Structure 1
Amino acid sequence: METRRQRIISLLEERDYSPSELALALGLRGKGSVKTILEDLRAIQRTLKKEGKVLLIKPAECRNCGFRFKPEIKVPSRCPRCKSEWIEEPRFKIERRR
């Protein structure tokens, strides 16, 4: 039986996912589900270095003004430029390091 983090790694090796999509794919529900996924992604990022893999991050982006956030493992709540809360979540994918 795979752990939740092993399952996340398997999913991210296939294609990119947002934290909300990962929570749905794993059957996590509730207020803290995205927070749990983000914590898992931070831990996964540290372990991947030992395996010769890398966690790619497509940064979050404001759907209102197009502002691109830093590529980091977090979901911003508000755009610093236009103050909109209409934020596209970051997307994550795992690839082998070249």
Structure 2
Amino acid sequence: MREADETTRQRLADALRAEPATPNELAARLDLTPQAVLDHVEHVARSIEGTDEQFLVAPPACRECGFDDFDDLLNRPSRCPDCKSESVDEPTLTIE
């Protein structure tokens, strides 16, 4: 299938199968906004349920204190709830 014939979600799933990436990296690669990537990722994750693939999320993490127990794994928080630092990495997404 040619790239022009693929849907955004198919291109997103293919990118996640190829290598782990953050929402910002995927947004730049697929010419989307990071929020659009997160919206599509939810559908991609549901579409692979019941298959031999898994949608995996490495949670966001604070670069200052290492906190990574965020409530919503698919959202990049603006600051760390523990140390209040704004140095929080994005989640990393992949399909294996």
Q: TM-score range by the shorter chain?
A: 0.7 to 0.9
Partner of 2:76: 75
TM-score by length of 1: 0.86
- Unaligned 5+ segments in structure 1 are none
Aligned mates of 2:54, 2:74 — CA distance in 1: 13
Partner of 1:87: 88
Runs of 4+ in structure 1 off by over 4 angstroms are none
Percent identity (aligned):
37
What is the letter of the counterpart of residue 40 of structure 1?
Answer: H
TM-score by length of 2: 0.87
- Unaligned 5+ segments in structure 2 are none
What is the letter of the counterpart of residue 12 of structure 2?
Answer: I
Aligned mates of 2:76, 2:7 — CA distance in 1: 23
Aligned mates of 1:24, 1:64 — CA distance in 2: 26
Which structure features the higher share of strand residues? 1
